[in-house]
A and B are shown apart, each in its own frame.
Chain A
Amino acid sequence: MRMLGLALKMLLDAPSKSLGTLAGVVVSVFLMSQQLSILLGILGLVSAFADGTDADLWVASAATENTELTGSLPATRVSEVASTPGVAWAAPVIQGMSRITRPDGVREPVMVVGVEPPRYAGLARTLVDGTRREELRGTARVFLSWTARPVFAFPPRGERLEIDGKTAFVAGYFDKLDPHSSYSYVFANLDDARAYTGFPQDRVTFVAAGVAPGEDAIAVRQRLQARLPDALAVTRDELSAMEVRHFLRRTPVGMVFGMGTMVAAFIGSVIVAITLYSSVIDRLRDYGTLKALGATRRDLFRLLLAQAWLFFAVGCTVGLLAFFFVKAHATQAPMLAPPWMLASVVAASFLSCTLASLAAVRRALAIDPAIVFRG
């Protein structure tokens, strides 16, 4: 701590260089946060269907890669799942691609999800604008995504649309369930969904199930898997992780944003390293004087570390504030910033600043204190 004041005064003595370094750390922290949060935001969208509905277990075709790339099951599987020990309830869910025709004639791709009353398993957990799930009981009633309203030209509730040429009325809205793809989810009751997508009557896409109170979801899933060896049984978390894995494996998104994060950390580290090192070069006589006056290697190490940590503390704070500002205002971008991500960014910044100081420390330690006697 005793070196902190001296470190601060040395940095303030070279304000333009210090500001340049600070800007590097700020940009690095901002970019790391932004890249990671967009990646997490996209991954959140990828797993939105699994995360945003209230089923504990899902049974799907054994060929399932994710909730988009899946086959279908015989509808009889629903009763088999329901009768499995530990299962409290089971309900069919179907899904299929279709197109909505807006009142102005524009056609938009949609993923129609059919759910069954009274459980409505598979329906988005968050209903908004006063929407009640029972409103799906009526014929040709659909729920649209609240955030996707612009896509459908802001239809009011009761507005008539067409899905695959068939009439549909907007009965309500859901939120927090948006796919990462260019389509939007639309919820309907099971019969209407079959009509909108041409889905066979004797097949279902998923069987959603709830675990009985006191039962362990993993154990029940294992029972289901043993009973239905030709299907895939997964918990909600497993389905979510499956979606993310598939997405990261099949798209370059993870690599792009991951690289972006690493490059940002690297840039911050390099900037701090270069400026700290050059500040030692600029101040050879000052560091030589400190050595002549009795500064030990540990003193110099602490002094340069304190400078690096000051850059970290101020740069990280400003960088995160800038990130939160952008996150609050860039509402179109999918950005998620859970505490662990912010902690990771802070840790990465701390580590990069600390490592960056090592070259400067090495140079300072090599200074000959006899430099103070040279004119």
Chain B
Amino acid sequence: MKKDNKTDQNTDIRTPFSEFVRKFKKQKTAVAASIVLLLIVLIAIFADFVAQYGINDYNYSEMLQGPSAKHLFGTDEFGRDIFSRIVYGARISLAIGFGAVSLAAILGAILGLISGYYGGIVDSIIMRVCDVLFAFPGLILAIAIVAILGPGLYNVVIAVIVFRTPTFARLVRGTTLQMKDSVYVQAARSLGASDARLLFTHILPSALPSVIVQYSISIGGSIMTAASLSFLGMGAAPPTPEWGLMLSNARTYVFMCWHYAVFPGLAIFLTVLCFNLVGDGLRSALDPKLTD
């Protein structure tokens, strides 16, 4: 084994990727967080096997019971199994997080590239719109959007996209401005590369590290936003097992049943924390200025 390693080191060229993996592995908390996150994702995917009960399997004779072998996290006010609901709820939260932020990242990257590369009036319009959106605190903007569109999970996704996009646009625009006059881009241009080719194959990759870090951190924040909106009654409608909605229902029983509020709260806490820790780890691993 030892020998193999040695030969690997000798023959391997240090690619940016291997460098990234090496740096990331050194971050113990980030690695641990990624493992927990992977677990959460697996639980969400295989929810049908993990959960013992359905999301709306009410049983009026088992209302508000504490944790037991039968109900791992206890039951809610309709006798539904809280553990199963949290497991299914992971699907919703992760889908919103990944879905909305992916769309925001794609949209933001395109806008940022256009804005940075072409400059002029296009740049002004895009950036002023972004400035307007930046002027509002995130959650307030999301609430305003949902208030206009009406409550519902799809509208929550739209709200998250709208308030996440400017961050990505600005990030990518910055890199584009830096790179568009660099020598290698000029070389590619002189070889006759089209604008699209220049933007997507030459400039965008330079922006990727910062986009990835932002992506990871944004997911955590977006899950929190979605949960907050549901908590306020502007997101998921009952009986959806959305974590924020569960927490909102639990408020009524907070004096009698600690478990009802604690477990959905913990689920949100753990997921958001892991995304943020992974984001931190990615930042350290991808930032060339930070040395080990």
Chains A and B form a bound pair:
no
Residues of B near any A CB (own CB < 8 A): none
Residues of A near any B CB (own CB < 8 A): none
